[in-house]
Amino acid sequence: MASAFVTGANRGIGLGIVRQLVKEPSVNIVIAAARDLTKATDLKAISSPKLHLIQLDVVSDQSIADAVIRVSGIVGDSGLDILINNAGILNQARLSDNFPKSRIMGQLEVNTVAPLMISNKLYGLLKKAAVKKGNAQVANITSTLG
């Protein structure tokens, strides 16, 4: 049996992945993260004993640390088998627009730095699963908008 953790699970690709994972017989734990669980109505509507919802703001070091503690408590000594870094944003702008550098840097932080930081902080749980079961996987997912 496997465990999976999906970031950005409140809509779009992430929500679709969660919906499929809860149906997958080989997956016994699905951890779905969203920045604001109060707004994640479609995610909260999924009814499955496999599903665990956690809050995660991928650009907050404290939120990442809190999420790692929660994930660790859920997966226990088995570790984490699959990490799916899906959270992302798009700040659309044209070269002719007058946009601040901070807007682009914020997008880069969410879409590129955050997946690396989350993978790094969950490395111990991924390694634990790899040692016990032979492998663990990290998938970084984006759409063309990201």
Q: Measuring CA to CA, which residue among 48, 80, 78 is closest to residue 67?
A: 80
CATH number at residue 56: 3.40.50.720
Would you list the DSSP string of 80-123?
-SEEEE---------TTS---HHHHHHHHIIIIIHHHHHHHHTH
Q: Which residue has the higher pLDDT, 93 or 7?
A: 7
Domain limits for position 13: 2-140
**Structural domain includes residue 19:** yes
Q: What percent of the chain has pLDDT over 90?
A: 84
Beta bridge mates, 51: 30
Domains contained in the chain, number: 1
**Structural domain includes residue 40:** yes
**Structural domain includes residue 100:** yes
Report the C-alpha gap between 83 and 31 in whole angstroms: 9
Q: Are 91 and 100 in contact (CB under 8 A)?
A: no
**Structural domain includes residue 145:** no
Instruction: Provide the token pair at 6.
Output: 């999906």
Q: Measuring CA to CA, which residue among 146, 143, 141 is closest to residue 5?
A: 141
Number of other residues whose CB lies within 10 A of the CB of residue 5: 31
pTM of the model: 0.93
**Structural domain includes residue 146:** no
Report the C-alpha gap between 40 and 137 in whole angstroms: 26
pLDDT for 22 beyond 70? yes
**Structural domain includes residue 72:** yes
pLDDT band at 145 (very low <50, low <70, confident <90, very high): low
Instruction: Provide the token pair at 110.
Output: 């969410």
